[in-house]
């Protein structure tokens, strides 16, 4: 297997991981920022006030985007598995 093929597979793996993780992380960060603004405006310093909404938003995002993420990962796996036969040295 050539170095170019290995780097292409690694590049695609990183891109798929970014596509799957970015929406969830951005949503969690957005909710965290919103809750931080609410805490600053109301002068509340309760840690659960930021943790619970972030946890709920991330769980909701995972439930909503779960099938799409599984399809992305499955597609990557199938493409990579099919490529094994074409790049083997034997």
Is residue 89 classed as helix, strand or coil in its secondary structure?
A: coil
Closest alpha carbon to 58 in 85, 8, 88, 23: 23
The fraction of the chain above a pLDDT of 90, given in percent, is: 61
Q: Which two tokens stand for residue 9?
A: 């597979």
Q: How many CB atoms lie within 10 A of CB 31?
A: 19
In the structure, what pLDDT confidence band is assigned to residue 15 with cuts at 50, 70 and 90? very high
Query: In the predicted model, is pLDDT for residue 88 greater than 70?
Result: no
**pLDDT at 1 (0 to 100):** 60
pLDDT in tens, 17-55: 999 999 999 999 999 999 999 988 988 888 888 889 999
DSSP E strand stretches across 1-90: none
* CA angle centred on 50, ends 42 and 70, rounded to 5°: 150
């Amino acid at each position: 297997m050539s170095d170019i093929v290995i780097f292409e597979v690694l590049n695609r793996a990183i891109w798929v991981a970014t596509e799957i993780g970015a929406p969830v992380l951005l949503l969690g960060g957005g909710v965290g920022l919103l809750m931080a603004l609410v805490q600053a405006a109301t002068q509340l310093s309760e840690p659960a006030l930021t943790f619970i909404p972030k946890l709920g938003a991330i769980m909701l995002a995972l439930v909503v985007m779960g099938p799409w993420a599984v399809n992305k990962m499955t597609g990557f796996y199938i493409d990579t598995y099919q490529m094994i036969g074409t790049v083997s040295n034997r």
